[in-house]
Chains A and B, each alone.
Chain A
Amino acid sequence: MRTQHAITVWMFDRLDLDGALAGDLLEERARGRSTVWYWRQVLIAIGTAIWSTVFAHKLLALRAVATGCAANGLWLFLWMKFLHLRLPFSPPYTKLVLAESIAYLLILLLTQTATGWIVARTHRAAAIPMVVVFVSWLTLWFFIDTFPEAKRLLLNSFDQPGFRPYLAWYLTPIAVEIVGLLCGGILASQRQKGGNPLQASSRES
């Protein structure tokens, strides 16, 4: 239970959620609430906090998307100019292709970590919610851009297990990008003792 609480406090601190909420949840957990109930409450609290912040600061959210796109545009330019790595359409089948794929994914992870870091550092007042906005936008863009392929793989994977490795391989780059962005955001977000400047004025009265 203590580990769960420590993880919750860590996440709440990153999102500048009220520590009293983490205490309330632990108090209820100690009174017999289930683990599922506890994590459901944590996820709802995080989702609500992110949504409230984004809803209250729509222009900041747009700026976060623009910043992320600019950073990724720069990486894409450098990639095209200096690197000639490509990710194969199917899972790697030779050692050379595997090595190239690993290099591709590692560079992707590093560049997206840098993008997440930049988005978070340029939106310090609400770092993680703004990174989540960019992650959502990027994920949406990825699936819209490749919708026919995504639909084909998903539908075929239901009844034909042979398609599942291809679906997993198709989802690998976006998964790496999401992990990289969130890592960058977490690295950049510092715990602010005085609380989130966007929320601090309302909390104490």
Chain B
Amino acid sequence: MAERLYLGEFELVVMLVVIRLGEDAYGVPISRGIEQQTGRAVAFGTVYATLERLQKKGLVSSRLGEATPERGGRAKRYFEATPTGVRTVRETKQTLVRLWQGLRQLQGGIA
């Protein structure tokens, strides 16, 4: 039986934004996506550290893209969710939904 992988809150947010962006997922749109979706400012360094951790877990893969003059000749690093990553996000959602169900305090839109 494969070892179960767990996602922290910020890891889950990053994974969801990477999946949402698809082929355009590199540092800038990922960070902007997180800001837009969560309403909180994030540091690029934190996003990269999280992506590196997810990559170590085998949940995302990366490839280098094109280098442009406006980036000082530095290539973009594109990230993509791996099949294991997508499965882990799905399992995390199922776990959260299970935890949510039957909680009267969280029903009716008032916490």
Contact = CB atoms under 8 A, between A and B. Distances in A.
Interface of A: 2, 5, 9, 17-28, 30, 40-42, 44-49, 52, 199, 202-205
B72 A5 contact: yes
A202 B72 contact: no
Given A26-B70, A41-B44, A44-B45, 4 more contacts: A9-B72, A18-B48, A47-B45, A205-B61
A23 B72 contact: yes
A26 B76 CA distance: 12
12 contacts: A20-B74, A21-B27, A22-B72, A22-B74, A24-B31, A28-B44, A44-B43, A44-B46, A45-B45, A52-B49, A203-B52, A203-B62
Contacts of B56: 202
Contacts of A40: 43
B5 interface: no
B75 A48 contact: no
A17 B51 CA distance: 13
Contacts of B26: 20, 24
A26 B69 CA distance: 10
Interface in B56-89: 56, 58, 61-62, 64, 67-68, 70-77
Contacts of A5: 72
Q: Is the interface of A mostly helix, strand, loop or mixed?
A: helix
A46 B28 CA distance: 18
B87 to A, nearest CB: 17
B72 A2 contact: yes
B43 to A, nearest CB: 4
Contact of A45 (B28, B44, B70, B77): B44
B43 A45 contact: yes
B62 A204 contact: yes
B44 A25 contact: yes
Nearest to A47: B45
A17 B55 CA distance: 15
Nearest to B48: A21
Contacts of B67: 23
A47 B70 CA distance: 25
Given A20-B26, A20-B64, A49 B49 contact: yes
A204 B46 CA distance: 19
Given A21-B48, A202-B55, A203-B52, A26 B27 contact: no
Nearest to B65: A20
Given A21-B45, A28-B28, A205 B55 contact: yes
Nearest to B61: A205
Contacts of A9: 72, 74
A203 B51 CA distance: 10
Given A48-B49, A203-B62, A20 B75 contact: yes
A202 B62 CA distance: 10
Contacts of B64: 20
B91 to A, nearest CB: 21
